[in-house]
Structure 1
Amino acid sequence: MRTIVILNRIPFDRIRYEKAIDHGSNRVVYVGYFQDGANYPNPAVKIVADLSSLNPHDLPAEIHDVLVHCDILIARGERDLLLAAKLREMYNIPGDTVVDVLPIRDKLLMRQFARNRSILQPEFWPLTTFRDSSMERSQIGTVVLKPRLDAASNGVVVGSVTEIMEMSQNLDAEDWIIESFVAGDIYHLDGFLEDGELRAFQAAKYVNTCLSFASGTPLGSVQVANATWMLEAATKIAAALRYRNGSFHLEMILTEKGEPYFLEFAGRVAGAYIAEAFEHKTGINLYQRDLTMLLGRRTDWTHYRPKASMYGWFLYPYGSRTNSRRVEALFKKSLVLLNTNANAIKPEVPSYLDIHSPLCGIVVGDPSCEDILMQIISAASEPEDLRSAG
């Protein structure tokens, strides 16, 4: 019997571990958050822990005890990848190590690796370099301040050089990176790699941005046709970051001149409803493909036949006032999923999980769903006293 430890952050009903893991023939231990209220399979063990503050060198005894006997350690949340890598090294557990994970987690290393392969990307500087009085900054326009190891645009600030210099005075420079701001449409490219080969892929264009979502605006995306530059970017950037196996989420900026700039890469399934929209389009469940790979099994791609229709999704941040009844009344035929949550849980940091959103959903359109999505966001944002119009 193998012991499988799961760092539990993604809601159980989204990833459905029991479909890939036999809980009867394996000892399965979930460590982390259990806010989703899901029914976990018997006889699984649940250990409540704050993963964000967990110290690998000072673990609670019950977590230490299960890791001593752990055969497989699974972490699919972005903020848990590095923690899992450290634990694997400490407890001699097979799988990705810190060296494997850092290029897809540390934004500074990510930029350096991409630069070594001549990938087009924004200019960047460690905050330590940017603060150096000898650096010439007069020709630098708008810049972006980013934490090297955070996610979901948490802590990201856009401003002038003067503004960023002022607001970063009290920050630990080793933990931050500065990038030049590049204007354009932002795309996310999602898929699955197997031994470096692209097995499944779908591109989408963001409606609003992850940064604006962190400031309170709704976020969404609409699937688009897969252009050649997108496919090339996915394989080239993944190779530059030494990422060869598993799901990925790549963000690119396409300028008005048609130049694709590398923004960020994540070696895991994307958040919000990107994975669900991907499955509606392609028939591929990226969560399950990831688990199959992590368990040492090969995946079958014979049923990979994308549909002609395009899917999109939208998500309102915690605290938003939304007009869900109007959306349901006006767009019922276009909605694949509509989730309203009057008791959304307040997240500690910006979150794309539906348990933190008062209103989110998935739409479908043919040949595009962009107009529909924009209309839904407009209707959902109207004041409550207009609900009767539906």
Structure 2
Amino acid sequence: MTRQRVALLSHVNYDAYRHDDGSPYFPPDEFDVTFLARPRDIAQLAPGQVSRSIPVDMHPSGELAVPLPPLVGDVEFDWVVATQERLLLPAARLREANGLGGMGTEHTLLLRDKVAMKNHFSASGIRVPEFMEISEPIQATDLLDKFGHIVIKPVLGSSSLDVRIIRDQNELMSFQRQGFASADRYEAEEFIAGRQFHIDSVVNNGVPVAASVSRYLDSHESFPLNGQVRSHTLDDGPDLELLLEFNRAVLGCITWFSGASHLEVFLDDRGRPVFCELGGRPGGAGIDTTFRYRHGVSLLWASILPQVGQAVPDSGTQARMDQPATGWSMIYPPELGRFRGFDTLPQAEWLLQLTAPYRPGELVRRPRQAKDAIAVASVCGRDSHEVVGRLAEVKSEIIVSITPE
């Protein structure tokens, strides 16, 4: 059998691409994998895991230092796969440069570029915040006067990096003097007062095959030391049904899309859904773990399959009926310094995931974006109330050792 040649662009370790039983997503007898990743992830490859590896210089935000086509040279592929937010556009450009099938830049931009995205869904009848692209903060003056609160963020941003909430003209003028944090394009949009949710789905040609609706409990404006960002799935009720219907309407505007989606949405102060943004990839933090528990399907796997010419999976084994609710938390370091390890960690049968990104000896920096956590935990429970309590229990039992510098 001829092996399919896959370019896998990744900023996570290759071991992440495995089923629950440990078998690889890309069996070596079926796939000839070229792994394009950071040198530290390449260094952790085991012999025979991939056919070849190509180091890629990635900024901590995920941006690439150089375009991919010159890096891969004359290596030929059948498929290009990427499952992380910042790598979707580079993957699309590599497909086009090599004349390959799969999503190109036109469709990928509708799932990455916040201006193109809002224009597309608004034209399709989806309610979006009033917004505008800006080249400097002062250009948002009229928008701020109209709404009183606005949000300014990078057009191609992710993980809430460099997102600012502006509450008055003094804050806007201060931001104008400070300037943007990067040379990225920026947009300003009305601040939606209300509750924020994420809806994660396996999607087949614009139709959700399986979906989970979760509510955020914490602000994404800043990530303070000893703070956290949490979410929990919704219990049965009107909000759940309303948001599932909104998710179907949004995904129905992209009938060309199959894979995993991550929709951010608000319920405003009158209980009406408002589009925030849509990602054509799995959600981060503990979302894949909790979704797999509830639906028996990995969002990561569902994201990969259409990129190698295969259909998305149907829903599998469902969550335990006595503990169907789930939630996750990204827990931020209590202090800055040199990470030494954990003195204590929680253990419980309802703890679905506990991961620690830092390695002993690494410098703990002040969190700038949602993913800058010292630990990520996922739990299950009978309902949302029990899930929130268990997340608090997990946080209280994590004791970390950090040496100040």
Matches within 5 A, 1:274-293: 274-293=287-306
Among 286, 290, 297, the residue aligned to 1:273 = 286
Residue 116 of structure 2 is matched in structure 1 by 109
The share of aligned pairs that are identical, in percent, is 22
Q: Is the Cα contact below 8 Å between 1:314 and 1:360 reproduced in 2?
A: yes
Among 122, 125, 130, the residue aligned to 2:129 = 122
Among 36, 44, 55, the residue aligned to 2:66 = 55
Residue 172 of structure 2 is matched in structure 1 by 164
Whether 2:74 is the aligned partner of 1:65: answer yes
RMSD over aligned Cα, in angstroms?
A: 3.4
Residue 28 of structure 1 is matched in structure 2 by 33
Matches within 5 A, 1:1-390: 1-16=3-18, 19-35=24-40, 38-40=44-46, 42=48, 43-51=50-58, 52-56=63-67, 59-60=70-71, 63-66=72-75, 69-128=76-135, 131=138, 135=142, 137-162=144-169, 163-168=171-176, 170-171=179-180, 175-213=185-223, 217-225=227-235, 227-241=240-254, 244-301=257-314, 303=316, 305-308=318-321, 309-317=324-332, 320=335, 328=346, 332-340=348-356, 343=359, 350=368, 357-368=373-384, 369-376=386-393, 379=396
- 115-124 vs 103-112, which deviates more? 115-124
**In the TM superposition, what is the alpha-carbon distance from 1:192 to its structure 2 partner?**
0.8
- 183-192 vs 285-294, which deviates more? 285-294
Structure 2 distance, partners of 1:145, 1:242, is: 30
Structure-2 change in CA distance of 1:85 and 1:319 (3 Å):
farther
Structure 1 distance, partners of 2:197, 2:160, is: 15
Q: Is the Cα contact below 8 Å between 1:154 and 1:214 reproduced in 2?
A: no
Provide Cα deviations, 1:31-73, integer angstroms capped at 9, x if missing partner.
Answer: 112545644461531221114233328734xx2232xx11111
Task: State the one-letter code of the partner of 1:147.
Answer: P
Task: Provide the secondary structure at the position in 1 that maps to 2:290.
Answer: helix
Structure 1 distance, partners of 2:396, 2:68, is: 50
**In the TM superposition, what is the alpha-carbon distance from 1:348 to its structure 2 partner?**
11
Gaps of 5+ in 1: 385-390
Structure 2 distance, partners of 1:247, 1:361, is: 21
Structure-2 change in CA distance of 1:195 and 1:154 (3 Å):
same
Q: Is the Cα contact below 8 Å between 1:193 and 1:246 reproduced in 2?
A: yes
Task: Provide the secondary structure at the position in 2 that maps to 1:305.
Answer: coil
Structure 2 distance, partners of 1:218, 1:139, is: 32
- 85-94 vs 102-111, which deviates more? 85-94
Structure 2 distance, partners of 1:181, 1:301, is: 37
Task: Provide the secondary structure at the position in 2 that maps to 1:200.
Answer: strand
Structure 2 distance, partners of 1:360, 1:132, is: 38
Q: TM-score, normalised by structure 2?
A: 0.81
Between Structure 1 and Structure 2, how many residues are aligned?
376
Task: State the one-letter code of the partner of 1:303.
Answer: G
